Amino acid sequence: MRFLLSICLAALIALAAQNGRAASISYLIDQSNIDAAPIVDGTNFARVTIDDDTPNALTFTVTLLSSLTSLAGPGFGIQNFGFDVVGANPLQDSGAVAGQWTLPSGFTANVAPPPNQMDGFGAFEVSVDGSGSNRQSPLVFRINGTGLTIASFAELSSGSAAQGNVFFSAHIAGFTGPAGTSSGFFGGSTLPEPGGLLLALGAAGLCTWRARERVL
């Protein structure tokens, strides 16, 4: 099912591009290496949205949801965020290519090797990292001028992953969790609900058919 949804996503993205429209996609992060009440797997902890609203750029917005914000303490936020790139990866460490990254103050981007390990969720090609206790909520950053699309990040992490390999993982800190925990690793790859996606695909197809009918 996930493979089918990825194909549908790619079709929608391509259609939007052909019609000159900006596109976006969101994924839910719904797993944790803590997995003890109230932080249990299957809970929506964060949302990753990728959009191409800015010309020749992709913007990531990683928003922490109420299941974690309700537990927030001092210094709450995202310290590290990992993801992979489908196929050849044009990304380099921040600063290696002028203008490739737009990052929050105090954050860097690091591209493997070495692997960017997220405890329980495997290794990722790319990690966006805050130094010390520098954390963001939400975390917003931009990738510029790479030719990547919003469909370029539907790639599972690699290596051993006790919690399972996922598209995205974040190290989040500064909350009050079970048994005194104040930080943990969270991951996920949850795509939009099939019904909504297929409805959108059907609507897009209908619009295309109507446009062709008008031309004829």
Please state, as a whole number, how many other Cβ atoms lie within 10 Å of the Cβ of residue 144: 16
Averaged over 149-164, what is the pLDDT?
A: 96
Among 116, 108, 100, residue whose Cα is nearest residue 56: 100
pLDDT for 178-189, tens place per residue? 999 999 999 999
Domains of the chain: total: 1
Contact (CB, 8 A) for 182 and 73: yes
Higher-pLDDT residue of 51, 131 = 51
Averaged over 10-39, what is the pLDDT?
A: 77
Question: For position 133, what pLDDT does the model report?
Answer: 85
Distance of CA 83 to the CA centre of its chain: 7
Question: For position 191, what pLDDT does the model report?
Answer: 87
Question: For position 114, what pLDDT does the model report?
Answer: 82
What ranges in 20-151 are assigned the alpha helix state H?
A: 66-69
Please state, as a whole number, how many other Cβ atoms lie within 10 Å of the Cβ of residue 186: 29
Question: Is the pLDDT confidence value at 198 over 70?
Answer: no
Residue type at 28 in one-letter notation: L
Domain that holds residue 185: 2-215
User: Which residues 6+ apart lie within 8 Å of 96 measured at CB?
Assistant: none
- Give the predicted TM-score (pTM) of the model: 0.83
pLDDT for 54-97, tens place per residue? 999 999 999 999 999 999 999 999 999 999 999 999 999 999 99
Cα 84 from Cα 47, distance rounded (Å): 17
Question: For position 166, what pLDDT does the model report?
Answer: 97
Peptide bond into 113 cis (omega under 30): yes
Burial tier of 181 (Cβ tally within 10 Å: 0-12, 13-18, 19+): middle
Please state, as a whole number, how many other Cβ atoms lie within 10 Å of the Cβ of residue 65: 15
Question: For position 190, what pLDDT does the model report?
Answer: 94
Query: How would residue 175 be classed by pLDDT, with cut points 50, 70 and 90?
Result: very high
Tell me the CA end-to-end span of the chain in Å, nearest whole number: 36
- To the nearest whole percent, how much of the chain has pLDDT over 90? 75
| DSSP string covering 135-165 | -BSSEEEEEESS---TTTT----BS--TT--
Peptide bond into 114 cis (omega under 30): yes
Higher-pLDDT residue of 113, 171 = 171
Provide the strand spans (E) within 15-167.
Answer: 24-29, 31-32, 46-51, 57-64, 72-83, 101-102, 107-118, 122-130, 139-144
Please state, as a whole number, how many other Cβ atoms lie within 10 Å of the Cβ of residue 149: 17
Averaged over 186-206, what is the pLDDT?
A: 60
